[in-house]
Amino acid sequence: MRLYGLKNCDTCRKALKALNNAEFIDVRTDGVPADIMTRAFDEFGDRLLNTRSTTWRQLDAEERQKPVLELLSAYPTLMKRPLIESGDVLYLGWTKEVQAALG
């Protein structure tokens, strides 16, 4: 199981603490493999983009119009977190549903 997130993100820390066997990958330093990002976009679409983030608020209107995958490649911190890869299944966020599925 792999957890993609940010080391200073409280939600990612909670998820990592609950998922003892998860390998943590910091998207800021290590990024997300292109195939995983494409799968995540195919499954979650625009929900993959965190439009409440500081990074998003700092983008100008022209930047915000770029395709989601291009934005996430340029600004990995725009990804909603955590993105959890468990076998062939991807989970986005640390909701009660995700916690129940992985618990």
Catalytic site residue 9? yes
pLDDT at residue 42 tops 90: yes
Q: Is a pLDDT exceeding 90 seen at residue 27?
A: yes
Q: Nearest Cα to 32, choosing from 92, 99, 95, 94? A: 92
Question: What class does CATH assign to 2-102?
Answer: alpha beta
Helix (H) or strand (E) run with residue 57 in it: helix 54-58
Token representation of residue 95: 């909701």
79 and 102 Cβ atoms separated by less than 8 Å: no
Catalytically annotated residue among 3, 4, 5, 9: 9
- What is the model's pTM? 0.92
| pLDDT exceeds cutoff 90 at 92 | yes
What is the mean pLDDT of the segment spanning 31-43?
Answer: 95
Where along the chain do its domains lie?
A: 2-102
Q: Tell me the pLDDT band of 103, cut-offs 50, 70 and 90.
A: confident
- What gap in Å lies between CA 93 and CA 83, rounded to an integer? 6
